[in-house]
Structure 1
């Protein structure tokens, strides 16, 4: 459900600046993925809900929304063939073809899941509905409720602040509060739930659980590394963090070395451990993902 709901919000906001544009305008303006500080999520207020999504969200809250048959099938696990090879391709085709991007995003999100939605898009969705403000975390909490698994609002609790510390050239590390209270010029890569949003201009949220239940770990890792590469190419200082700054943060730091320096998993681990003493190695699925990384 989270993929469908967030996918609908993303599709709605991504398409809004192209309303009334000629067919193919999205691909003309963005012929390749825009992963830096300025992305395809453009317009006066990038990521903001339109009135159409606001009405949909309020109907969901009031239990008055009728789910399309195809979306119901996808949510039930039935095989559905979206028009595109992945979430981004589905949205590109929908916007270029002047089709309903909110519906296309919902279906693609149901098929490809939250992990398949580019974090540069999902991280910025926001708006007001039902008398309150909404961001990515709020949509995910509502999705859990709609799925029959309500969760209380996230409380990260109090943890001693770690970092930010420059671990690799241009790449800094920290824990949740180390990142939250860091200089706002950092481009932040968040790998955990946040509680209150940060005030940084550039922040990407790629939620990973610190266990072996990340079914699309490779997809998420590729998305994170590609965005990091684009942000570094702009000269941005990148701050990577998770709740404790240990396992998930260490995964991305080591993956960055694997990808950019060609180090083996063991070599990357040795380098990071020597520069970030909080590195956690208890998650075997993370090490396995590093071995698969090209």
Structure 2
């Protein structure tokens, strides 16, 4: 039995037990022997005692600085797919506008040896047999089940077969635009990893493929971006928070088609569950590390 599957995050077993001050007269250690943060004078240390090659991110007031361990940190890109972004499919222009900044973040993470994780809708026919009715209704184009998950979306631009809605391997489920080359190249080079999901959250369930990867790689700190920020991004971040990961929402690589109040809810709660930041807070710190 692999303890890493049950004591989350497992990295703290290696790094934390010898370094954590379990009885701290100043009450600056938060958590438990296997998973803890340390409060510093100007922010938070999320390294769980592994201080090799750490990076400090100067996050906006009142969050304060956050010190991370690159070896246990990753960027999570959620649902930046043709289905949600391509203009010929009615995709969100706000989401498309995120692409250049998202790519800048990807490159900064790779340069520092930090993993880039892609989690996108990618259904199988078996998934369709177990999908609850609420999700089928939510992804219907005309209020009938005939246009929901798995339905043939026809062609665009005369010769592009859009494929079955959000099914694994279909064109509509591929990363949008230049992100496809980034994802394919990153996976080939071993810097990026791709995970299909069958719910809004990429961390839904007892052990998703992405969660298994995080546990095996002893990754504890996650940076989130993508679309929609109040739906799939929020769901993945929230499930990660529930499962004991450090969660940091990157505002300027996240967007939604929902009313502004939905983003406000996410912003408020993400700051309570973890931190909010912009790429302008993160990339300069990664560039000088």
Task: Give the strand-richer structure, 1 or 2.
Answer: 2
What TM-score, normalized to structure 2?
0.25
What TM-score, normalized to structure 1?
0.24
Q: Of the two structures, which has the highest relative contact order with CA contacts closer than 8 Å and spacing of 6 or more?
A: 2
